[in-house]
Copies of this chain bind each other. A is one copy, B any other.
Amino acid sequence: MSTIPARRRRATIHDVAVEAGVSRGTVSRVVNDEPYVSEQARIAIEAAIEKVGYVPNNAARSLVMQRSQAVGFIVHEPHSLFLEDPNIGGILLGANTALSSADYQMVCLIIDSDRDNDRVARYLSGGFVDGVIIVSARQNDPITRIVEKLALPSVFVGHPPDLRQLPFVGIDNRSSARAITERLIGTGRKRIGMIAAALDRDSGADRLAGFRDALGPRFDPALVEDVPLYAFSAGVDGMRRLLERAPDLDGVFAASDAVAAGALEALREAGRSVPGDVGVVGFDDSAWALRCQPPLSTVHQPAAGLGEAAAESVLAQLRGEEPDLGGILLDTPIVWRDSA
């Protein structure tokens, strides 16, 4: 008969105090790096901590400190995001990096259904997190309302919904779109079209606006085809329709890399060479960009940077600083490859 090893009680600050022959208070001071503790005591306590394997109990600490040292990372519509949006992983990573160097823990809160909405709402109200990073909030989002009501330090990645004045980080879709279109014009293309996508979202509308900015008076609405989603198949359809309408086209700005990949496919079908007959540029610098044949020229989305900036903003608010309601916009370098 094997003896079941007794699940040993975890060492507490009291055990350390006894071991080191001092009081709880002094141990606490050492653990929290506070002044006014003698070198002798510090050494004894550090040895005792090591010996008994002491790790502070977070629940007790949270209870007395009234904070959790955790930040929520809220993601909506995970199915489409995790599978389609290559940026989300980078944002997650960037946020995690910044939070963990500040000794905060990142808690993923994934909203997949209405039940999840309730659960997350309860979680936020329960004081489990000291702040939140919200990715891709929807219009009329219950979570957004709760965050406001609790006055929880928060930051959105992308524009906050319902035109609210809340802190956010993002990129300037409009000027980025303008920049890459200008670059495409600079290669000598004369008839440049756009496959616009997701015009119901800020990002989609802004990319179209930037395209228009770049072309100025030469902008021709007939050369814009719009598709509902940032998706490969939408790109194929959009490109086909565009080619039908404007067979003499020699340049295309696709609203995302996935759309651009679809466009390349349609161009191949139609027997056009890229970049010979038609120059193509995308947006996002996602995994699609390198997979395409030829590799895409595109606008780089600094996903990790966005995550880091979002985390820094929350941390600043946690330190009591006033958030910048105007939003933080990150640079988007253009990556020039062979497709244009």
Which chain B positions have C-beta within 8 A of A86?
83
Q: Roughly how many angstroms separate A340 CA and B58 CA in the complex, as a whole number?
A: 56
Q: Which of A31-39, A125-133, A331-339 contacts B (4 or more CB under 8 A)?
A: A125-133
Q: List 15 A-B contacts (CB under 8 A).
A: A55-B126, A55-B127, A56-B126, A57-B63, A57-B126, A59-B68, A82-B90, A82-B92, A83-B86, A93-B110, A96-B108, A97-B112, A105-B123, A107-B107, A265-B293
Chain A contacts to B: CB under 8 angstroms: 5, 7, 10, 53, 55-60, 62-63, 68, 73, 78-79, 81-84, 86, 88-90, 92-93, 96-97, 100-101, 103, 105-108, 110, 112, 115-116, 119, 122-123, 125-128, 151, 232, 261, 265, 287, 291, 293
Which chain B positions have C-beta within 8 A of A123?
105
Among B97, B107, B122, contact of A55 (Cβ-Cβ < 8 Å) = B122
A127→B58 contact, CB < 8 A:
yes
Which chain B positions have C-beta within 8 A of A81?
89
13 further A-B pairs in the complex, CB-CB below 8 A; given A57-B127, A82-B92: A10-B127, A55-B122, A58-B128, A59-B60, A62-B62, A81-B89, A82-B93, A93-B110, A97-B112, A105-B128, A106-B108, A107-B107, A291-B291
B7→A151 contact, CB < 8 A:
yes
Q: Roughly how many angstroms separate A265 CA and B291 CA in the complex, as a whole number?
A: 10
Chain B residue at minimum C-beta to C-beta distance from A62: B59
Which chain B positions have C-beta within 8 A of A88?
89
Which chain B positions have C-beta within 8 A of A60?
59, 63
Q: Roughly how many angstroms separate A174 CA and B151 CA in the complex, as a whole number?
A: 53
Minimum distance in angstroms from A42 CB to a CB of chain B: 20
Minimum distance in angstroms from A172 CB to a CB of chain B: 24
Minimum distance in angstroms from A204 CB to a CB of chain B: 21
Minimum distance in angstroms from A142 CB to a CB of chain B: 15
Minimum distance in angstroms from A77 CB to a CB of chain B: 11
User: Beyond A55-B125, A119-B100, A126-B57, is A79–B108 a contact (Cβ under 8 Å)?
Assistant: no
Minimum distance in angstroms from A240 CB to a CB of chain B: 15
